Amino acid sequence: MHEHRDPQNPEGRRSPRKRLTAEDWADAALAALAERGLAGVAVEPLAARLGTTKGSFYWHFANRDALVSAALARWEELATERVITAMEAAEPDAAARLGALLRAATVSAAENPLEVRLLAASDHPEVAAALARVSERRIGYLAHLFELLGFPPAEARRRGVLAYTSYVGHAQLAHAAPDSVPADPAYLATVTDALLKGSAADPR
């Protein structure tokens, strides 16, 4: 019986392992954080998860704290800036964008415990700082949408805070006490309707 040889690799040499990037490590850290909290961000288990050695880690990061910082920056980029950019491109109408944003974010947070894990780790200074930055960015963007709908700045800000705290509370309860919060899209639509009362987009 003849051994099969790949014609593209007649000597049977093992193909070189894909070189991991700092982004790969940050993504793996976020996945571990979602699964086990901040304590899950540990170099050796992450190296095993990525199929590499600690040497790869130290090529990119000085220590675990640097990885935590990179993971938090990655979370800010993926879960806030890219979401806002995608919504801006996909939906020109401010009311429709607000509804789509709140529904998508609430469903995502209910399915993925990452943000709940981060809130639970808010006693860590860097996590607390990242949560503060992200919360302010998200509330500011929501307030911007309410201003586009005709609310004066102070009222737009108030509704932005209300919308964001509704989202955070829903996410927390979806993981801690899932039977206490409705998960259907119709319910999420009613939340948006309540927030829009008094705007030009509210037909009543």
Q: What are the sequence ranges of the domains in the chain?
A: 20-75, 91-204
pLDDT digit string, tens, across residues 136-193:
999 999 999 999 999 999 999 999 999 999 999 999 999 999 999 887 777 878 888 8
Query: In the 3-class helix/strand/coil scheme, how is the chain assigned residue by residue?
Result: CCCCCCCCCCCCCCCCCCCCCHHHHHHHHHHHHHHHCHHHCCHHHHHHHHCCCHHHHHHHCCCHHHHHHHHHHHHHHHHHHHHHHHHHHHCCCHHHHHHHHHHHHHHHHHHCCHHHHHHHCCCCHHHHHHHHHHHHHHHHHHHHHHHHCCCCHHHHHHHHHHHHHHHHHHHHHHHHCHHHCCCCHHHHHHHHHHHHCCCCCCCC
pLDDT higher for 14 or 182? 182
pTM of the full structure: 0.86
Identify the pLDDT of residue 187.
81
Could you identify the residue written with the tokens 């899209």? 185
* Residues 127 and 177: beta-carbon distance below 8 Å: no
pLDDT higher for 183 or 127? 127
Give the mean pLDDT of 68-92.
96
Distance CA 78, CA 84 (A): 10
Distance CA 18, CA 15 (A): 9
CATH class of 20-75: mainly alpha
pLDDT digit string, tens, across residues 34-52:
999 999 999 999 999 999 9
| Mean pLDDT across the chain | 88
- Selection from 39, 9, 8, 42 nearest residue 25 by Cα: 42
Distance CA 15, CA 100 (A): 44
Residue 24 corresponds to which tokens in the numbers above? 């790969």
